[in-house]
Amino acid sequence: MTINRPDSQEPPAFEADELFGLVAESAGLIVMVWELPGNSIYLSKRWSVPIDRSSHPTLTTSSQFKRLIHPDDRAGLNAAIVRCVKGRTDLCHTEFRIRLLSGEWKWIAVRSRVVQRDASGRGRRIEAALIDETERKRTEDLITSQNRILKMMTAGSELEETLTAINRMVETQCKDALCSILVLNDAGTQFAWGAGDSLPDSYQHAIYELSIGPDAGSCGTAAFRNEPVAVSDIATDPLWAHYRELALSHDLRACFSWPIAGRAGQVLGTFAIYHRQPGMPTDRELRVIQLVTDLAGLAIESRKSEERIRHLAHYDELTGLLNRAMFSQVLSHALAQAGRNDHQIGLLFMDLDRFKNINDTLGHYAGDQVLQEVARRLRSTMREEDTVARLGGDEFVVMVENFKEPSALAVVAKKLIEQLAMPMTIEGREFHQTVSIGISTYPGDGDDLQTLIRNADIAMYRAKQHGRNNHRFYSAQMSAGSLERMTLEAGLRRAIEQNEFVLHYQPQLHIATGEITGVEALVRWQHPEKGLLSPFKFISLAEETGLIVPIGQWVLQSACRQLRAWRDSGLPPARIAVNLSARQFAHDELLSDIAVALRRSGLSPDMLELEITESAVMDNPGHAIRILNELKAMGIHISMDDFGTGYSSLANLKRFPIGSVKIDRSFTREIPQDGNDAAITCAIIAMAHALNLKVVAEGVENDDQLAFLREQHCDEIQGYYFSRPMSAEALEIFMRQHTAFKESSAHGALVKSSRR
């Protein structure tokens, strides 16, 4: 290719050179020649970019050209030119933005060279190749914006802010684009909100709650179909039938909408570009959109998971009520305010009655449904401004502010109890779930969170003790007992872990033969500080807390093992008696625990006697009879302990498959002096014998008692008279002495305890 180099006076010949223009253009170049003396510039003719010269007919001087350059880039360009002209360098590479007639800016990269200098070395003529770098720059911008948006997301910016930045990014990239992002509600049925501040406010708000559907404008349809919808003319497209006027009244003519999808492919919202002129999306728009819908999806989804995490941190997943942590926050806040304003706060602490039964008998799924139903009822019974929370398990709490008298809390408690007691249907079965409520108030019952909750809990416990399904207000007396109880409970748990229990044994003596027939195992707690503790100190708490179950298992195993050892060394007791509590009785594993204890010790079932009390079996007599019958069928002996203290019912002696009755110590104590006790003792013996039951008198301490019992044909005695309960080792010595003494004395003589 020949280029006619223009000389300084003539206009450059190549301006007319079609070929040059073509070649330059096909290489994506614009050639420029700048004659410094005349300050005129010449550009290759086919200059469609960056500026249409035909519409700039006067563009012949460099100063006119400079005016088209972005103000921010002028200084840099000038400095580069000065360097070349002054002869410091021939080559110059620089970049600048130039304004098109449309107002758009193009990025131009310049590679220029000084091709002529005058005698003093000043540049006379510069030739340059201009390259349109707009596309590359835009891509760079896109990457920078994208990175900025990703940073916004990780820095925890508001979602609206992030989405607005995404819109802005597209608007700078795509000419005349007005962007909008709409976010669907959780159900995915309608838009919930959006970001699009380039659109007129009134338009934006009108579309925020739009329902999606097969013909719901571009966005509603795109979300509905989960595919892009491009409407080139809103004025005619049927998809816009319902929204046409709205859009046209805001001067919007074209709208292209893309679904924003989550990772699982579900539609989270839509991204849309509006134009004020009809038309189809440009290639550039299509390219950018792919990127931004991904970005928007990421932003919406990560916000959703953050919200979910936040929700889980504050709410109970099963019931949707506040959880313990959040409730603590709300209560602390309310306490601080109440302190300033002299207000009262009431806490109603609730624990479902016998909820464990539902879980145990119907399974956890049913249990969950009950908890959900309870939560619903609590919520609907309480006022909007009251706070309802689930503290865990079957424990709920309600905080009431703004009440005048504590009696108002009692009214609330009664209402809750009433509502919960209404039948609920779970898996087709009708239930009555009752609740026990403890109430504490601020400032009367404590001024901090822990104290108030603890005291309400204590009061709730009292409500349980008073027959459940009722409420109790906290009072200071409750606390004293309760602290002790808590310490004791913690101690008991530790004792189980550390094996601090020991068994003492008390022999039973056959009155007529003087033989040791059996031995009762009586548990004690070898407390590290308090020494040996009597069962009276801890059995009832162990019962309440259920800890009696593991303790009872241990007793059973140890007692059986002990009898095995005695039998192996030729000692007399034919049988070992173990006390069973009501709680153990209700425990499913009772039968298998017993079977295991027998198997491990190798005892035959008739060597084991189980002592039950009337009250233990009367909780659920049907169940008790079934279990007792099974035990009896196994060959195990059952005796009715402490008879006379509870129901003392003859009918019970008949109903339950027992083999013997133990007369409670409270009757034996005053015989024979106390006529009443003597009469009762006689009646029990007669009644038991009539039913073919063996009678054992407990708590026999002296000759008179023994003489009376012998007269009444009581079968056996147990008491200090013969022997106190003692350790296995001590009893072993005692039994050996007893056997030796018995053999050497007259047959049937009664040996007194050597310890008396």
Q: Which residues bind ligand C2E (CB under 6 A)?
A: 506, 522-523, 534-536, 539, 548, 552, 555, 579-581, 611, 641-642, 665, 698-701, 718-720, 725
In the complex, least distance from residue 442 CB atom to ligand C2E, rounded to whole angstroms: 41
User: Residue 615 contacts by C-beta under 8 Å, 6 or more apart in sequence?
Assistant: 582, 646, 647
Burial of 408 (0-12, 13-18, 19+ CB in 10 A): middle
Distance between first and last Cα of the chain: 135
Burial 170-204 (b: 16+ CB within 10 A, else e): beebbeebbbbbbbbeeeeebbebbbbeebeeebb
**Nearest CA-CA partner of 391 in 336, 444, 337, 330:** 330
- Residue among 316 and 642 whose Cβ is closer to ligand C2E: 642
- Residue among 21 and 514 whose Cβ is closer to ligand C2E: 514
User: Which partner from the list ligand C2E, Mg ion, none does 506 bind, CB cut-off 5 to 8 Å by kind?
Assistant: ligand C2E
Give the 3-state secondary structure of residue 400: strand
CB neighbours (10 Å) of residue 248?
Answer: 13
In the complex, least distance from residue 578 CB atom to ligand C2E, rounded to whole angstroms: 6
Helix boundaries (H) for 8-158? 18-26, 62-67, 71-85, 134-154
Q: What is the CA radius of gyration of the chain?
A: 48
Helix boundaries (H) for 86-211? 134-154, 159-173, 201-208
- Residue among 457 and 611 whose Cβ is closer to Mg ion: 611
In the complex, least distance from residue 504 CB atom to Mg ion, rounded to whole angstroms: 12
Q: Are 270 and 219 in contact (CB under 8 A)?
A: yes
Stretch of 277-285, 422-430, 550-558, 603-611 lying at the interface with Mg ion (CB under 5 A): 603-611
**Nearest CA-CA partner of 731 in 566, 601, 576:** 566
Residues 683-712 that bind Mg ion (CB under 5 A): 698
Q: Is the peptide bond before 672 cis (omega within 30 degrees of 0)?
A: yes
d(CA 371, CA 393): 9
User: Which partner from the list ligand C2E, Mg ion, none does 499 bind, CB cut-off 5 to 8 Å by kind?
Assistant: none
In the complex, least distance from residue 644 CB atom to ligand C2E, rounded to whole angstroms: 11
Residue 120, sorted as left (phi over 0), alpha (psi -120 to 50) or beta, turns out to be alpha
DSSP state of 315: B
d(CA 461, CA 485): 11
579 lies in the binding site for Mg ion (CB under 5 A): yes
Question: Strand 123-132 vs strand 29-35: parallel, antiparallel, or unpaired?
Answer: antiparallel
Residue of the chain from 641, 677, 715, 716 that contacts Mg ion (CB under 5 A): 641
User: Which partner from the list Mg ion, ligand C2E, none does 273 bind, CB cut-off 5 to 8 Å by kind?
Assistant: none
614 lies in the binding site for Mg ion (CB under 5 A): no
Task: Give the residues across from 502 on adjacent strands.
Answer: 524
User: Which partner from the list ligand C2E, Mg ion, none does 701 bind, CB cut-off 5 to 8 Å by kind?
Assistant: ligand C2E
Give the 3-state secondary structure of residue 569: coil
Residue of the chain from 127, 237, 373, 611 that contacts Mg ion (CB under 5 A): 611
User: Which partner from the list Mg ion, ligand C2E, none does 523 bind, CB cut-off 5 to 8 Å by kind?
Assistant: ligand C2E
Stretch of 288-296, 419-427, 576-584, 631-639 lying at the interface with Mg ion (CB under 5 A): 576-584
User: Which partner from the list Mg ion, ligand C2E, none does 535 bind, CB cut-off 5 to 8 Å by kind?
Assistant: ligand C2E
Q: Is the peptide bond before 443 cis (omega within 30 degrees of 0)?
A: yes
User: Which partner from the list ligand C2E, Mg ion, none does 712 bind, CB cut-off 5 to 8 Å by kind?
Assistant: none
- Residue among 319 and 668 whose Cβ is closer to ligand C2E: 668
User: Which partner from the list Mg ion, ligand C2E, none does 581 bind, CB cut-off 5 to 8 Å by kind?
Assistant: ligand C2E
In the complex, least distance from residue 504 CB atom to ligand C2E, rounded to whole angstroms: 7
- Residue among 252 and 697 whose Cβ is closer to ligand C2E: 697
User: Which partner from the list ligand C2E, Mg ion, none does 609 bind, CB cut-off 5 to 8 Å by kind?
Assistant: none
Helix (H) or strand (E) holding 234: none
In the complex, least distance from residue 584 CB atom to ligand C2E, rounded to whole angstroms: 7
- Residue among 47 and 656 whose Cβ is closer to ligand C2E: 656
In the complex, least distance from residue 559 CB atom to ligand C2E, rounded to whole angstroms: 8
- Residue among 228 and 699 whose Cβ is closer to ligand C2E: 699
**Nearest CA-CA partner of 161 in 149, 176, 172, 177:** 149
- Residue among 53 and 694 whose Cβ is closer to ligand C2E: 694
- Residue among 351 and 698 whose Cβ is closer to ligand C2E: 698
- Residue among 537 and 689 whose Cβ is closer to ligand C2E: 537
DSSP state of 140: H
Stretch of 13-21, 386-394, 395-403, 608-616 lying at the interface with Mg ion (CB under 5 A): 608-616
Q: Distance of CA 35 to CAs 1, 7, 66, 121, Å?
A: 22, 9, 15, 15
User: Which partner from the list Mg ion, ligand C2E, none does 719 bind, CB cut-off 5 to 8 Å by kind?
Assistant: ligand C2E
In the complex, least distance from residue 622 CB atom to Mg ion, rounded to whole angstroms: 24
d(CA 237, CA 316): 48
In the complex, least distance from residue 686 CB atom to ligand C2E, rounded to whole angstroms: 22
Stretch of 147-155, 235-243, 574-582, 652-660 lying at the interface with Mg ion (CB under 5 A): 574-582
Sheet order of strands, 387-392 included = 387-392, 395-401, 345-352, 435-442, 471-473
- Residue among 386 and 664 whose Cβ is closer to ligand C2E: 664
- Residue among 335 and 547 whose Cβ is closer to ligand C2E: 547
Helix boundaries (H) for 342-475? 355-362, 364-381, 406-421, 449-465
- Residue among 230 and 551 whose Cβ is closer to ligand C2E: 551
Q: Are 314 and 323 in contact (CB under 8 A)?
A: yes
User: Residue 394 contacts by C-beta under 8 Å, 6 or more apart in sequence?
Assistant: 351, 352, 355, 371
- Residue among 387 and 579 whose Cβ is closer to Mg ion: 579
- Residue among 543 and 698 whose Cβ is closer to Mg ion: 698
User: Which partner from the list Mg ion, ligand C2E, none does 594 bind, CB cut-off 5 to 8 Å by kind?
Assistant: none
User: Which partner from the list ligand C2E, Mg ion, none does 555 bind, CB cut-off 5 to 8 Å by kind?
Assistant: ligand C2E
d(CA 465, CA 592): 30
In the complex, least distance from residue 579 CB atom to Mg ion, rounded to whole angstroms: 4
Q: Distance of CA 223 to CAs 97, 177, 198, 701, Å?
A: 39, 20, 21, 90
User: Which partner from the list ligand C2E, Mg ion, none does 536 bind, CB cut-off 5 to 8 Å by kind?
Assistant: ligand C2E
In the complex, least distance from residue 723 CB atom to ligand C2E, rounded to whole angstroms: 9
- Residue among 243 and 585 whose Cβ is closer to ligand C2E: 585
Residue of the chain from 543, 642, 677, 715 that contacts Mg ion (CB under 5 A): 642
- Residue among 221 and 718 whose Cβ is closer to Mg ion: 718
Task: Give the residues across from 97 on adjacent strands.
Answer: 107
In the complex, least distance from residue 384 CB atom to Mg ion, rounded to whole angstroms: 56
Total residues contacting Mg ion (rule CB under 5 A)?
Answer: 5
Q: Are 111 and 129 in contact (CB under 8 A)?
A: yes
User: Which partner from the list ligand C2E, Mg ion, none does 720 bind, CB cut-off 5 to 8 Å by kind?
Assistant: ligand C2E
Q: Are 210 and 219 in contact (CB under 8 A)?
A: yes
Stretch of 359-367, 384-392, 481-489, 575-583 lying at the interface with Mg ion (CB under 5 A): 575-583
In the complex, least distance from residue 596 CB atom to ligand C2E, rounded to whole angstroms: 17
**Nearest CA-CA partner of 658 in 700, 687, 699, 620:** 687
d(CA 502, CA 498): 12
In the complex, least distance from residue 387 CB atom to Mg ion, rounded to whole angstroms: 49
- List of residues contacting Mg ion (CB under 5 A): 579, 611, 641-642, 698
